[in-house]
Amino acid sequence: MAESLDGKVVAITGAAAGIGLACGKACVEAGATVFFIDRDEAQLQAIAAELGEKAIPLVVDLLDTKSMDAMMPAILARTGRLDVFHANAGSYIGGDLVDGNPDDFDRMLNLNVNAVYRTVHSVLPHMIERKTGDIVVTTSVAGHEHIAWEPVYSASKHAVLTLVYTLRRQLIKHGIRVSSIAPGPVITGLLKDWPKENLEKAKANGSLIEPSEVAEALMFMLTRPRNVNIRDIVILPASQDI
């Protein structure tokens, strides 16, 4: 029998738009109190005004260590507990490595990898103490394959997928579930950095999915009975098989 999210406390990074926003809305609709975490304060305030008191804006800069360190204390000060942490924020850079800017790659790696492990690390003591919790990481199909036109992005998603797999084994004894959602191309702002020819081809043949479809996968994961862990969900458009 499916579990309810009613009354649960959820925190989602990168929640001002795209996948994070869709997942946050789905959790609120299911009765959860949701911390929408992002650095875009204006957008977070607009989301809270739209969704009501169960949507709590929390401004965090995931490229700033002090800001990240303040995240979990702010959550506990407001709600006293956290049931679900969804490390969703990320960025994208594609193209040939030789043409890229190393500083831009560093920024992407900091957000896609370092911010994930640092924020997950911050929620673990609380979940371990409570002997329950869910950690979900948005990875990518690029973490399961080796995508030639996005070598550094693909490397970042392989890194966090390995984090998910190893962390799951460490946390089983504490009753904490660790899972990954690996979407293919999703219609979000990240696609603006796609090679133009790839984006035009994807639009023409229907090879893109909606953020709401990723949110449905998250809801399926979180509502399984506690004796069930959906380890990974890979979501691809029906017309694509990478």
Is 117 in the active site? no
Query: What is the distance between the alpha carbons of residues 200 and 37, in angstroms, rounded to a whole number?
Result: 31
Tell me the C-alpha distance between 105 and 96, whole Å. Answer: 12
| Distance (Å, whole) CA 206 – CA 103 | 33
Active-site residue (options: 92, 117, 153, 165) = 153
DSSP reduced 3-state for 16: coil
Q: How far apart are CA 110 and CA 168, in angstroms?
A: 22
In angstroms, rounded to a whole number, what is the distance separating the alpha carbons of residues 156 and 143?
8
Q: How far apart are CA 20 and CA 36, in angstroms?
A: 8
State the Cα–Cα distance between residues 11 and 115, nearest whole angstrom.
Answer: 14
Angle at 88 between CA 213 and CA 81, to 5 degrees: 105
Give catalytic residue positions.
Answer: 153
